[in-house]
């Protein structure tokens, strides 16, 4: 048993006949690592408007990992850090590295005959409370959101995240704010206090309008508002948090140092690392520990595919300061749902790993092979890839 990685396969998956520009429903990037003992591990990288550039970086990471020992995660990460001059500022590099890191843990768990969470220190909990995302395609007005929100509740979810801001960007005209308030108010009124509401801002507002969002959401007792300002304007969060509405962010932060900065500045209540772009599972564990030192909770970002979900759940089981887990799984297209035969399950609002070795996901190789594609991901000039389908392009344009 050597653990030497002797084969690397980088794959783009999708369904070109049905793809939209939203990455949670379209393109996937996977890496498959095979050792000289015949053990196979999978990792995943995000694709948002960057599929080909991330794939290019994955080829660079391959030069470090191919021939390396899968057990030597810290060493292999440091070797890439030493050679990749812009790693701390490159989403493409950290995304690529994360996929290989996750696949390495999958291999290690399989070698040891143990789920990854046991190798990280064991379980703090037996199941993972999830919140729904991706459920509100084509929702424009309050009635649309209430109709689809009731379906989410019927699935057993006790929390849901959504973006009620339509096509607003940078600023938020009075009519746009009124519409957003009406949507949130209708959901709170129809679904009651038993459902946690999470407000997605997608990092789209300037500080002045982000403050208006925070003030308008306070009465609805939302669990948090996510990325209320453009990410480079994070200093404005000091004032926004004074409204006493919890603020979450983190899917665009690339390493523990970035998280240490925002956490120590006291500008965030909940962090949302994405282990497919912040250097993987081990870095995610370190980030959670930094947050725990400041009393900050963790709600991992999780918007892409089942390999990411399985890997993230291992950390959810393990960390002390877990809050809630994002889940698009119930709203994926069928091909993405079927990519993994087993590994984790969803039941009445909770996710649970099966306890299989590695990250726990059993990939259906036939489905994988049927959905290998190539080329740039879909692009809809009328709607950014970070929104849920038809909630931006079909929304009214307020002046």
The string of DSSP letters for 5-42 reads EEEEEEEEE--TTT--S-GGGS-EEEEEEEETT--EEE
Domain range summary for the chain, segments of one domain joined by +: 5-114, 118-363
Q: Which pLDDT score is estimated for 261?
A: 96
Q: Which pLDDT score is estimated for 23?
A: 64
Q: How many residues does the chain have?
A: 399
Q: HSE (CB half, 13 Å, CA atoms) of 334?
A: 3
Q: Name the pLDDT band for 275 (thresholds 50, 70, 90).
A: very high
CA–CA distance from 52 to each of 17, 75, 248 (Å)?
19, 27, 29
* pTM score, whole prediction: 0.97
Angle at 347 between CA 344 and CA 349, to 5 degrees: 110
Q: Where are the beta strands (DSSP E) in the chain?
A: 5-13, 28-35, 40-45, 128-132, 159-162, 196-200, 224-226, 247-249, 270-271, 297-298, 325-327, 340-342, 344-347, 350-353, 362-363, 372-373
Q: Which pLDDT score is estimated for 21?
A: 64
Tokens of 181: 């308030």
Q: Which of 396, 358, 389 is nearest to 104 (CA)?
A: 358
20-32 pLDDT, tens digit each:
667 666 889 999 9
Q: Which of 42, 116, 8 is nearest to 367 (CA)?
A: 42
Within 10 A of 191 (CB to CB), how many other CB atoms are there? Answer: 18
Name the least confident of 15-24, 130-139, 204-213, 355-364. 15-24
Domain 5-114 classification at class level: alpha beta
Tokens of 274: 């994405």
325-380 pLDDT, tens digit each:
999 999 999 999 999 999 999 999 999 999 999 999 999 999 999 999 999 888 88
Q: Do domains 5-114 and 118-363 have the same CATH topology?
A: no
The whole-angstrom separation of Cα 118 and Cα 105 is 12
Q: Is 230 a catalytic residue?
A: no
Name the least confident of 9-18, 36-45, 313-322. 9-18
Active-site entry in 202, 230, 238, 371? 202
CA–CA distance from 151 to each of 72, 141, 146 (Å)?
46, 16, 9
Q: What whole-number percentage of the chain has pLDDT above 90?
A: 93
Name the least confident of 26-30, 34-38, 75-79, 316-320. 26-30
What CATH number labels 118-363? 3.20.20.120
Within 10 A of 174 (CB to CB), how many other CB atoms are there? Answer: 10
Residue 129's SS3 state is: strand
96 with 45: CB under 8 angstroms? yes
The whole-angstrom separation of Cα 202 and Cα 135 is 16
Q: Is 238 a catalytic residue?
A: no
Q: Which pLDDT score is estimated for 274?
A: 98
**Average pLDDT, integer, range 256-285:** 97
Q: Which pLDDT score is estimated for 290?
A: 98
Active-site entry in 75, 230, 238, 301? 301
The whole-angstrom separation of Cα 104 and Cα 31 is 10
């Amino acid at each position: 048993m050597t653990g030497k990685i002797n084969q690397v396969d980088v794959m783009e998956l999708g369904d070109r006949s049905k793809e939209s520009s939203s990455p949670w429903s379209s393109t996937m990037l996977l890496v498959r690592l095979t050792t000289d003992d015949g053990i196979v591990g999978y990792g995943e990288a995000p694709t948002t408007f960057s599929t080909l550039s991330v794939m290019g970086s994955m080829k660079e990471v391959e030069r470090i990992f191919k021939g390396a020992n899968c057990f030597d995660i810290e060493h292999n990460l440091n070797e890439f850090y030493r050679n990749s001059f812009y790693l701390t500022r490159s989403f493409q590099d950290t995304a690529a590295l994360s996929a290989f890191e996750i696949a390495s843990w999958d291999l290690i768990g399989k070698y040891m005959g143990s789920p990854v969470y046991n190798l990280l220190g064991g379980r703090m909990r037996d199941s993972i409370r999830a919140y729904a995302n991706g459920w509100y395609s084509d929702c424009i007005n309050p009635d649309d959101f209430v109709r689809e929100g009731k379906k989410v509740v019927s699935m057993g979810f006790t929390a849901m995240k959504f973006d009620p801001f339509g096509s607003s960007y940078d600023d938020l005209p009075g009519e746009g704010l009124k519409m957003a308030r009406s949507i949130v108010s209708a959901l709170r009124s129809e679904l009651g206090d038993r459902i946690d509401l999470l407000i997605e801002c997608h990092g789209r507002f300037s500080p002045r309008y982000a403050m208006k969002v925070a003030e308008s959401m306070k009465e609805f007792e939302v669990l948090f508002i996510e990325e209320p300002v453009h990410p480079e304007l994070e200093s404005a969060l000091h004032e926004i948090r004074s409204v006493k509405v919890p603020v979450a962010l983190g899917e665009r932060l690339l390493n523990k140092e970035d998280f240490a900065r925002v956490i120590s500045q006291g500008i965030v209540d909940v962090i949302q690392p994405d282990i497919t772009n912040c250097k993987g599972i081990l870095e995610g564990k370190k980030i959670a520990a930094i947050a725990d030192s400041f009393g900050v909770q963790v709600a991992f970002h999780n918007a892409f595919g089942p390999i990411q979900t399985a890997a993230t759940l291992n950390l959810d089981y393990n960390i002390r300061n877990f809050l809630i887990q994002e889940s698009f799984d119930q709203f994926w297209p069928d091909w993405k749902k079927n990519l993994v035969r087993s590994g984790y399950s969803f039941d009445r609002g909770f996710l649970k790993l099966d306890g299989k070795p590695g990250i726990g996901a059993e990939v259906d190789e036939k489905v994988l092979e049927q959905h290998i594609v190539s080329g740039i991901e879909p692009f809809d000039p009328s709607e950014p890839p970070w929104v849920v389908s038809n909630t931006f392009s079909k929304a009214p344009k307020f002046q």
